[in-house]
Amino acid sequence: MKQTILATVSDLCADFLYYDRKEDEELSAGDLERAVERGEITIDEMVDEFRKQLNSHFKRNTFQNVELGKFEFRCESCKRIHKESGYCVAQRASGNHMVHTCECGHKTTLEPYKK
């Protein structure tokens, strides 16, 4: 599945950079290339926008509806799903609390497993 998704992203790039530009009167392939060359926009800015759109879609449409697996937990702030590492599972099984810091910066305290 991962390779199929990555191939599709590659196709999206080809469409964005070339095929969709063929008949586009507002933004031609040349316009796009010149904008990057002149520093009007950077590749990082375009990637950041793509990332923002993907994050927005998946937070809104997916994270809310996914059933959690046995060693998964959801960030209360951004709703991202995380898997516990083997170390975390062992520590919680031993009666210890664990604190996970999400990419969004939110800290989640994982209680020890009940015996």
Provide the CB-side half-sphere exposure for 4 (13 A, CA): 1
Report d(CA 75, CA 81) in Å as an integer.
6
Q: Closest Cα to residue 113, out of 83, 67, 71?
A: 71
- Domain range spanning residue 37? 2-61
Q: Within this chain, do residues 57 and 96 fall inside the same structural domain, yes or no?
A: no
Do 26 and 48 fall within a single domain? yes
Per-residue model confidence as pLDDT tens for the chain (115 residues): 889 989 999 999 999 998 888 888 899 999 999 999 999 999 999 999 998 888 777 765 555 566 777 888 888 888 788 888 888 888 888 999 989 898 889 999 988 887 6
- Do residues 52 and 90 both lie within one domain? no
pTM of the model: 0.51
